[in-house]
Amino acid sequence: MLIAVPKEIQQGENRVALVPDTAAKLIKKGFEVGLEKGAGLNANFPDELYEKAGVKIFTSPEELYNVADIVLKVQRPLDHPDTGKHELEMIKKGSLLITFMYSLHYPEVAKKAAEAGINVISMEAIPRTTLAQKMDALSSQANIAGYKSVLMTADKLGKIFPLMMTAAGTISPAKVVIMGAGVAGLQALGTAKRLGAIVEVSDIRPTVKEEVQSLGGRFIEVETDEVMQDEGGYAKEASEEFLKKQKELIFKHVTEADIVITTALVPGKKAPVLVTEEMVKNMRKGSVVLDMAVEFGGNCEVSEKGATVEKHGVHIIGEPNLPSLVPVNSSEVYSKNLLSLLEHISKENNVELNLEDEIVKGSLIVYNGEVINERTKQLLN
């Protein structure tokens, strides 16, 4: 079977789905691997490294897609700027596409894949189980995003993070508030603490309190009887009453912070607004807000997708694709996630999609010309 790795065409995407080391491992297992010329350049992996690993280089996406049995991508399929065709129109019927489809946000792309007869595994839908841990690309990318978010806000802030005793006096440590204690939030907490900041973390799930405290953070707790996470460990959509309580409690913490990093996402829903314009107005001049959920509506009421803006004297960073800003490591870990998945679903170099398997069942969005993921299907009805 030939595994194809095309060049990513979404604006601002620097990652590549497969790095040379991982490609070599797949070739050793008996797969063939084809790469579109220059696909790894933005992640600092030149074609020569792929060729040394035994990868065949293709000069055009159409030529590559035409022979592919499995297509590995980072971003969902889009209209191709060079060919004028949608990527799903170029992929061979019966092929398996593995990518971040985000079908709960873009169900029409899943429908188009079904019409084209292309099977789709979506990486953000990999179940959060012990067995699937090595394939959990959502976590691997969020980990890097959390780290990068702290560096970006530290760079924008006009003061240093740590407490510093100098002959000229004492410099107080910066105060960082993180909204959401998932993988990205916890990595942001750890990074900010290592830089010397005082860190407070808010999350709708009281179960994460111990994790926050074990990393040296202070947990901002909202008292509630509601169950705030689903069976998969993801945050559920909160009630209006809970969000009102949370905003009242958070107001004081946010307005006293130097930096606020928001990471709250609910699968398939618009991101909840956690930082209102009123909060931003009451923050100190020169403070920084980074909205990690800006691609899906944003946690900050006044953030702008793809831009860093100043509102009421506060810098607001709306970078929608933080992992792409660290493309070497992001590509390496994503590549390993894909390798683990391919090892799980293939036998003697043949992919076998066993619908009884919990990982396949959870992540297979389109199969045999049909959208089979229930939540995606409901959005299309």
Whether 224 has a pLDDT exceeding 90, the answer reads no
Mean residue pLDDT across the chain: 93
Residue 372 lies in a domain: no
What is the Cα–Cα distance from 5 to 230, expressed in whole angstroms?
34
User: 10, 60, 69, 139: which one is catalytic?
Assistant: 139
**Mean pLDDT value of segment 325-337:** 98
Number of domains forming the structure of the chain: 2
% of residues, the chain, pLDDT over 90 = 85
Q: Is residue 334 annotated as a catalytic residue, yes or no?
A: no
Residues in the chain: 381
Q: Which residues pair with 78 in a beta bridge?
A: none
Residue 2's H or E segment, with its range, is: strand 2-5
Domain identity same for 276 and 335: no
Residue 254 lies in a domain: yes
Of the pLDDT bands very low, low, confident and very high (cuts 50, 70, 90), residue 205 is confident
Domain identity same for 308 and 338: no
User: 60, 128, 194, 357: which one is catalytic?
Assistant: 128
pLDDT tens digits for 144-178?
Answer: 999 999 999 999 999 999 999 999 999 999 999 99
CA distance to 35, 149, 151, 152, 197, per residue, from 192 (Å)? 38, 10, 8, 11, 6
Q: Is residue 291 annotated as a catalytic residue, yes or no?
A: no
User: 21, 205, 234, 357: which one is catalytic?
Assistant: 234
Whether 249 has a pLDDT exceeding 90, the answer reads no
Domain identity same for 28 and 147: no
Residue 61 lies in a domain: yes
Of the pLDDT bands very low, low, confident and very high (cuts 50, 70, 90), residue 225 is low
Domain identity same for 216 and 239: yes
Please say whether the beta carbons of 265 and 296 come within 8 A.
yes
Residue 353 lies in a domain: yes
Q: Is residue 202 annotated as a catalytic residue, yes or no?
A: no
Domain identity same for 308 and 164: yes
Residue 133 lies in a domain: no
Residue where one domain finishes, among candidates 275, 293, 325? 325
Whether 239 has a pLDDT exceeding 80, the answer reads no
CA distance to 62, 87, 125, 157, 289, per residue, from 78 (Å)? 14, 6, 20, 36, 31
Domain identity same for 278 and 159: yes
332-364: b (≥16 Cβ within 10 Å) or e: bbbbbbbbbbbebbbeeeebeeeeeeebbebbb
Q: Is residue 284 annotated as a catalytic residue, yes or no?
A: no
pLDDT tens digits for 265-322?
Answer: 888 889 989 999 999 999 999 999 999 999 999 999 999 999 999 999 999 999 999 9
Q: Is residue 76 annotated as a catalytic residue, yes or no?
A: no
Residue where one domain finishes, among candidates 274, 293, 325? 325
Q: Which residues pair with 86 in a beta bridge?
A: 79
pLDDT tens digits for 71-83?
Answer: 999 999 999 999 9
The CATH number linked to 46 is 3.40.50.720
**Mean pLDDT value of segment 224-230:** 61
User: 76, 103, 136, 141: which one is catalytic?
Assistant: 136
User: 11, 133, 172, 378: which one is catalytic?
Assistant: 133
- Model pTM above 0.85: yes
Residues 6+ apart with CB under 8 A from 339: 22, 25, 26
| Domain of 156, in residue numbers | 142-325
Residue 35 lies in a domain: yes
Residue 333 lies in a domain: yes
Residue where one domain finishes, among candidates 308, 325, 342? 325
Whether 229 has a pLDDT exceeding 80, the answer reads no
Alpha helices in the chain (DSSP H): 20-28, 47-52, 61-67, 87-90, 107-115, 137-156, 183-194, 209-214, 240-255, 277-281, 327-345, 358-363, 374-380
Domain identity same for 207 and 269: yes
Please say whether the beta carbons of 99 and 76 come within 8 A.
yes
Whether 334 has a pLDDT exceeding 90, the answer reads yes
Domain identity same for 184 and 111: no
Domain identity same for 38 and 100: yes
Domain identity same for 182 and 55: no
Domain identity same for 53 and 108: yes
Q: What pLDDT, on the 0 to 100 scale, is given for residue 228?
A: 54
DSSP result, 164-232: EEETTEEEPPPEEEEE--SHHHHHHHHHHHHTT-EEEEE-S-GGGHHHHHHTTPEEE-----S--B-TT
Domain identity same for 105 and 199: no
Residue 130 lies in a domain: no
